[in-house]
Structure formats: structure tokens, C-alpha cells
Copies of this chain bind each other. A is one copy, B any other.
Amino acid sequence: MSSQVYNRVALIGLGLIASSIFWASKRAGLAGHIAGSARSAETREIAREIGLCESVHDTAAEACADADLVILCVPVGAMSAVMQEIAPVLKPGCVISDVGSVKRDVIKAVTPHLPEGVHFVPAHPLAGTEHSGPRSGFAELFDNRWCLLTPEDSEAPEAQQLRAFWEGLGSNVDYMDPDHHDLVLAVTSHAPHLIAYTMVGVADDLQRVTDSEVINYSAAGFRDFTRIAASDPTMWRDVFLSNKDATLEILGRFTEELFALQRAIRRGDGDLLFDYFTRTREIRRGIIDAGQDTDAPNFGRSR
């Protein structure tokens, strides 16, 4: 497969994404040495136990010493503090990147701390699972998924090099403007997550339907929502707080549309409902044809 793209890489934060980057990078031999650090002692201990990273460090600054690429794999709200900590040890020519689900706010948080000669190439791999923590990563997570880069200059060598790294991890790579990224992700990720969290919260909170009824009878549709509503709470809190405007815009559109369908139900307008439900089938077909989901019934769940 690919060959080495960076000599020394540092992963700051060792959760699902960082651990998957490590295993995917090992698979393809993309880095000479990968150092890791995590704030929690328990996470570092697990990392050492399972061989996650060639070296595990107690502080982010130690992990970043001599790094050619540093990837911030912490929640969006923690990035500014991490940058402040590591800035003094970064060597000239080092590239900073991240894996945050929002880009405008991350750029705002990271850029002021960049030392002379250090470049920032923001990145967002559109891949994940509902599991979190250092044990949840696997080498195939990024295969055939998209990774969006939002550098100031996509022709710059540091952007091209990071592109090669993500392609080596298995991703398709695209460049995008940060604001457009945040709007696109509000549609394809942030609003769906908030809606799923809301629906699960409503079901949990009803007096007239018990939790065990909700649980036992969830296969009729509800269980699909619970997967993304089981995602990491800290990460998602930060996503919504830092992509506030785009998320609220899409949720506004969503509510408007939901009211129109509620009105159709109340008035008994079957034609409107039928036409709406017919139209939404096509998007799934597009997603399957683009290799972004499986055509197997029920996502091919083992039965």
C-alpha cells in the first residue's frame, strides 16, 4: 500500500478517532513513529496495555516534541487549551491538524496560538461509530469514507502532504471552505444527531409508556435513533455550542417542514404525505450507489 508520509506524528487525545488513525496508519506504514497523549491516566494505561501508539506520554507537550504532524483529537472545546500548552515545543515546519466536527470555530481557537513556521491544516474525517474511548478504534474506520480538509491554501505542500496521509488511511479526500463545511455538516450530521437525542429523550420521559415498552418494541424504527444518540456526550455538547448558527438554521428548516407534515396528518392530506415519502426514497438509493451505506435490510444487522 502507501509508504511513509511523516517521520513523527503526535496524537493528542486517544479516543475512537485517534486510535483508528493509529491502527490505519500502522496498516499502511504512514509514519515512522506515532506518539500519543491523553489527559486521563486510565486512558493512557489502556493505551499502553493494547499497544496504542509507539510511545504514550503524560502530557501533550511531551508527545509533540520533534513531531512533524500533530493531530488534535480532543473535543472542539478543548483545542485552544491544548494549543496553548504545546505551542512552545513545536518545531518549525511542524503541521498542526485536527479531527473536529466543526471547522470555523476550531480555526478561531487554534490559529492565534500558532508559532512562526508552523502551519495549520484543519481536517474532518466523516467517520465514526457510537462507541468511544481508546479501545473503540479499528484500522478500517476510514476506508471509503470522506475526509474534508479546509486549509487556507489547498495547493500548499502541507495541505498536499496531509491529503496523502488521509488517503493512506483509506479516505477519499476533498477540500472545502470552512463555513460551507459547517453548513454541510449541520445537515448531514449535527441536526440529525440533535433530533435523534431529542426523540430518545422524549421516549425516555413519557409517563404513559414505560421504558421497558420502549426498549422491547424499539425494532419498529426507534432503535435506529438510539445508535447516534449514544455518541460521546462531551464531543457533541461542544459540536452544538461551536456550530450554533448553522445547526440552528437547519433545525429551523426542520421544524418548519415538520409542522407542514403534522398539518397534513391533521387535515388528512394523504396525497401530500405519499408524495413526500416517495421523494425521500431516492436519496437513500443515491447513498447506497455512492458506497456510503449498505443495501442489506436493516443495515445488515446480524439477526
Contact = CB atoms under 8 A, between A and B. Distances in A.
A160 to B, nearest CB: 21
A221 interface: yes
A248 B265 CA distance: 8
A39 interface: no
Interface string A230-252: 11011011101100100110110
Contacts of A236: 273, 277
Contact of A240 (B131, B138, B273, B280): B273
Interface string A202-244: 1111101101111111111111111111110110111011001
A138 to B, nearest CB: 8
A27 interface: no
Give the number of copies in the complex: 2
A98 to B, nearest CB: 16
A215 B292 contact: yes
B188 A214 contact: yes
B219 A130 contact: no
A258 interface: yes
Contacts of A87: none
A107 B278 CA distance: 28
A293 B218 contact: yes
B209 A183 contact: yes
A224 B220 CA distance: 14
Given A187-B202, A199-B254, A224 B228 contact: yes
Interface of A is mostly: helix
A233 B187 contact: no
B248 A266 contact: yes
A56 to B, nearest CB: 24
Contact of A202 (B197, B204, B250, B290): B250
A93 interface: no
Contact of A284 (B130, B191, B302): B130
Contacts of A211: 283, 286
A145 B290 CA distance: 31
B220 A247 contact: no
Closest 6 CB pairs of A and B: A129-B297, A189-B220, A233-B277, A226-B284, A299-B299, A230-B284
Interface of A: 77, 101, 126-131, 136, 138, 140, 143-146, 148, 172, 174, 183-185, 187-206, 208-209, 211-231, 233-234, 236-238, 240-241, 244, 247-248, 250-251, 253-255, 257-258, 261-262, 265-266, 268, 270, 273-274, 276-287, 290, 292-294, 296-303
